[in-house]
Amino acid sequence: MDLGISGKTALVCGASKGLGYGCAEALVREGANVVIVARGAAGLDAAARALSKVAADAGSRNFVKQVTADITTAEGRKAVLSLHSEFDIVVTNAGGPPPGDFRAWNRETWIRAIDANMLAPVELIRASVDGMATRGFGRIVNITSSAVKAPISFLGLSNGARSGLTGFVAGIARSSIAAKGVTINNLLPGSFETDRLQATFVGSAERSGEDLDTVVTRHKQLIPARRLGTAAEFGAICAFLCSVHAGYLTGQNVLADGGAYPGTY
């Protein structure tokens, strides 16, 4: 299927590895120009080189640009938007907040989580949505978490901050921009094979004293698909949400979790 986004320009945040990289790669394969963002310059360089190769192998002339920045800060977003401001596609993403006991968190802990996982996406939407509406096409995909639908007790900062973003998106996606070709959706990962998930498994193994294989195998048994998802699978769903074919799909929370969420709706 031709997704119809060749030549469109996408901002993909948190894209030097993991799910963000998967989204950037899928968009590049579709012929989109991409601007990728991460804090670590070395990882970002490597990702930009890999994406340029994907584009070249596909015979595409689209560009891959990179901005080394912390997207959760005003300075970081300014650096990105000064390189390019008229994005057709914006994929918001940053690292998730740390796990822990809510009794240990103070106001500063909460503000950091809300800044990263709620206000940074809100600011990127604010910076891009009106231009998209004027040009008659726009796609915003926020990478959130399955924890928005099925909260995880020790990820209270993630449950809380991402739920705030989810509520905001539910309203704004249905505002006047909906009639102007702009969609905003949230893409909710369950368990995907990335460095972040691996670190979570390592932490669980250390806490329980079990070996890593035992922890990972047990986790997979809880997923009807009996496996972890891949960043490429996640990217393919993201690219579809960004496609011309998904113009009637907005304000949704799309869960990609191998069937792990046990609800009917």
- Contact residues for ligand NAP (CB under 6 A)? 13-20, 37-40, 43, 70-72, 93-96, 143, 145-146, 189, 191-192, 194-197
CA distance 206 to 212: 8
Q: Can you read off the two tokens belonging to residue 36?
A: 């990728």
Nearer to ligand NAP, 118 or 133 (CB): 118
Closest by alpha carbon to 93, among 20, 34, 44?
A: 20
Burial, 230: exposed, middle or buried (Cβ in 10 Å; 0-12, 13-18, 19+)? Answer: middle
Q: Whose Cβ is closer to ligand NAP: residue 178's or residue 260's?
A: 260
Task: Please check whether residue 165 is in contact with residue 117, taking contact to mean a CB–CB distance below 8 angstroms.
Answer: yes
Tell me how far, at minimum, the Cβ of 59 lies from ligand NAP, in Å.
27
Rounded to a whole number of angstroms, the minimum distance from the CB of residue 198 to ligand NAP is 8
The minimum distance between CB 97 and ligand NAP, in angstroms, equals 8
Decide whether 87 or 133 has the Cβ nearer to ligand NAP. Answer: 87
Q: Which is nearer to ligand NAP, 182 or 257 (CB)?
A: 257
Complete DSSP assignment for 200-261:
HHHHHHHHHT--HHHHHHHHHHTSTTSS-B-HHHHHHHHHHHTSGGGTT--S-EEEESTT-S
